[in-house]
Amino acid sequence: MDWTTRDIGLFRGVPQAENFRRMASVTPCRRINRAEVAHPFPEGDAMFRLPQYFDALGETHDLAAFLQDVTTTGLMVLHKGEKVYENYWNGNRADTQVAIFSCTKSFVSTLVACALRDGHIASLDDLADKYAPELKGSGYEGVRIEDILQMSSGVRWNEDYGDPDSDVAKFAAAYLEPASFDEVCASLPREHAPGTYNRYNTCDTHVLGMVVSRAVGQSLTDYLQQQIWDVLGMEDDAFMLVDGKGVEAAGMGLQVTLRDMAKLGQLMLRGGLSPDGAQLLPDGWISGCSTASKSHLRPGKRPNASYPWGYGYQWWLPDDSGAFSALGVYHQMIWVDPVRDVVIAKTTAYPAFGQDHDDENRVDALHFAACHSIAKAAAGK
């Protein structure tokens, strides 16, 4: 992979909305090259229009006003694999590489599936420290890969983006000095029994990246290039942030275009089939991503949880409709609706993100309701 340094401004006083658009890195990134053979989406119904209104939280909302209020920068809608809507705002374009933050997690989940398919990972029941022995002695020792996929490692963690002393802030600081994401993960203690408690934890995804990289004997970006970018026919280069030791930020580091975000959603919608019809994901993988296999993962209010959404294999479960979604801070998303055969990719630069958990959940709820309304309009039902 080529190395590049991107002059962006994270953690340097840049306003949050601008931070989102330019994603910061004062350390190098690794480049993922666009596919030699691209697979652009065919054009669909040119007559499709976004719905004017949607209902959420007991009120009717104007969709255009909502998109503006949350500072939407890009929106794409696919129906039956065809592009029926694409638009950009606030200076973004089709070729703008956007920091998708925790939507990266859903890409890394797919790499776990590829490693499992090819036998590099023998089973999701395997322990993470089997592949990444440096995790021995940490809260991750003895934790199954599946529990980590479901954000149920039991490791103590604080993902409060508004708290400068939180674990996620300390994790992110590895961008700014010769620090190590791996070492942060290997330093965390256990708080709950694995597989019993869902806590959103960016380090869980980083550990998945450690497992994949060790199992396949490649860097995460090399494996992402071979297994996803080249196979799905991604149209644009992407970048992955790395730490001071050159290790990728598996939980939050991708910078991609909107149309390439949508390609991951379309892969999931098609049950793991590539554009050429090859089966890329192992049996049962889509179900693991789109359904809650245990009570503590189901949508709805849960004790001590700051959010009401369910969780699969690094994909969020907004409700029991069958739709599932990748989410990133500032409200990036990849929405997959198998019932209506719709994928929605959205980039957003919501400036108030990280200031209030209730507001984050409110804006997520509005996004989910808006996506349901858009998907219903696209499918005509």
Domains, the chain, ordered by start: 3-379 (3.40.710.10)
253: tokens are: 């580091």
Place of tokens 């802030």: 169
Specify the pLDDT at position 182: 93
In sequence order, what are the beta bridge partners of 339? none
Residue 161's pLDDT is 66
Task: Say how far apart CA 175 and CA 179 lie, in whole Å.
Answer: 7
Whose CA is closest to 98, among 22, 166, 37?
22
Contacts (Cβ under 8 Å, ≥6 apart) of 245:
178, 179, 180, 182
| pTM, 2 dp | 0.92
Q: What's the pLDDT score for residue 303?
A: 66
> Given this model, what pLDDT does residue 285 score?
98
pLDDT, residue 6, reads: 30
88 DSSP 8-state letter: E
Can you give the pLDDT of all 381 residues of the chain as single tens digits? 333 333 223 333 333 334 434 444 445 899 999 999 999 999 999 999 999 999 999 999 999 999 999 999 999 999 999 999 999 999 999 999 999 999 999 999 999 999 999 999 999 999 999 999 999 999 999 999 999 999 999 999 877 766 777 777 776 766 666 678 899 899 999 999 999 999 999 999 999 999 999 999 999 999 999 999 999 999 999 999 998 888 999 999 999 999 999 999 999 999 999 999 999 999 999 999 999 999 999 999 776 667 899 999 999 999 999 999 999 999 999 999 999 999 999 999 999 887 888 899 999 999 999 999 999 999 997
Amino acid letter for position 355: Q
Tokens of 212: 């994949």
Backbone angles phi and psi of 233, in degrees to 5? 70, 45
